[in-house]
Amino acid sequence: MRVTRIVFGVCTLCLLTWGQVPAMAQTEEATPLPQSVPPTSPNLSNRSVSELLQLGTEKMGQRLYAEAAELFSQVVQKQATGTEAYLHRGICYMELWEFDKAVADFDTYIQQNPKRASGYIQRARIHAKRGQWDKVLSELTHAQACEPDTHDRNRIAFLQGQWEFEQKKYPEALARFSEVLSAPELQANLRQIALLCRCLTYLRWSETAPADEKTTLRQKAAHDLAEYRKGDPPNAVEFLVRASDLLQKQQFEVVVKETSDYLLGCFDKPLPFVLRAQAYLEWQPNQVEKATEDISQAVTKIGMP
């Protein structure tokens, strides 16, 4: 239970190592470069606001949040209002676990754009990371009043599902995650994390369900893991291709052993955790807690868009 509660508090979420980036940056900046050495970063002072926004967005896509935040800071210096820079920089700070800075940026964005749902949704994510679920609901109420677009409606439903999971309202949480998964034009990242969260909900509900329902719920969880794997193909990583093939051949014990060995040296991808979780469910249905922990780990490797 403890692992699952932590994951739903940080969903979106990313590895703790991302939160160490600012400290590393400060260490490097503490030692000034000799005057004869030119700066390593390009001079962006002549770039337009739109160019800086584009560059920052590209850095966000590469998970280079500290660099992206600096680019958005330059946007704010050039144009303090009428841009998405505060929203984007707030997301970067959130991914870097600098929550106070993130909240300040979301507050500014909402002040400038009170009728846009995105600011409330991102501020709700901060509250979710901090486990302040009553504040999450308040933010989502504001977001819904803003006539959100399709993408924002999906994110609102997802966060509502997280809140219901935290309240142990498992049928309601399942309905929310299913609502997200059935939405048209669903972002790939949101689909993947919604599948894992629905899987977690099936497993958590199965712990207290009547005996005749446990098997059905766990089968549904295994199905969601299989659907997740379709959206996260192993590509050229030879080990993941092999493990996926072994899972198809129902060699579950081998999958558990080999994924465990693999994760000793490479634990930054969600798919190995998903493969091992599915092997546990298929091979040893009584190992629900181990499967739950693996799915929880996978969730932290994705994060909500």
Instruction: Tell me the DSSP string of 101-123.
Output: HHHHHHHHHHHH-TT-HHHHHHH
The predicted pLDDT at position 231 comes to 77
- How far is residue 65's CA from residue 91's CA, in Å, rounded to a whole number? 9
- In tens digits, the chain (305 residues) has pLDDT values of 444 444 454 443 332 233 332 322 332 333 333 333 333 345 666 788 888 999 999 998 888 999 999 999 999 988 878 778 999 999 999 989 899 999 999 999 999 999 999 999 999 999 988 888 889 999 999 999 998 999 999 999 999 999 999 999 999 999 999 999 999 889 888 998 899 899 989 988 988 889 889 889 988 988 888 888 877 665 545 666 677 777 777 788 887 877 777 776 666 678 788 888 888 888 777 778 888 888 887 887 776 55
Beta strands in the chain, from DSSP E residues, in sequence order: none
Question: What confidence score (pLDDT) does residue 275 get?
Answer: 82
Q: What are phi and psi of 221, to 5 degrees?
A: -65, -45
Cβ neighbour number for residue 155 with a 10 Å cutoff: 24
Neighbours of 254 (CB within 10 A): 16
- CATH code matching the domain that covers 217-305, chosen among 2.102.10.10, 1.25.40.10, 1.10.287.130, 1.20.1440.230: 1.25.40.10
pLDDT for residue 79: 84
- The closest of 180, 142, 147, 144 to 161, measured between CA atoms, is 180
The torsion of the CA quartet 207, 212, 215, 220, rounded to 10 degrees, works out to -90
Distance CA 273, CA 259 (A): 8
CA distance 275 to 244: 7
Q: Whole-model pTM above 0.85? A: no
Instruction: Give the residue extent of every domain in the chain.
Output: 217-305
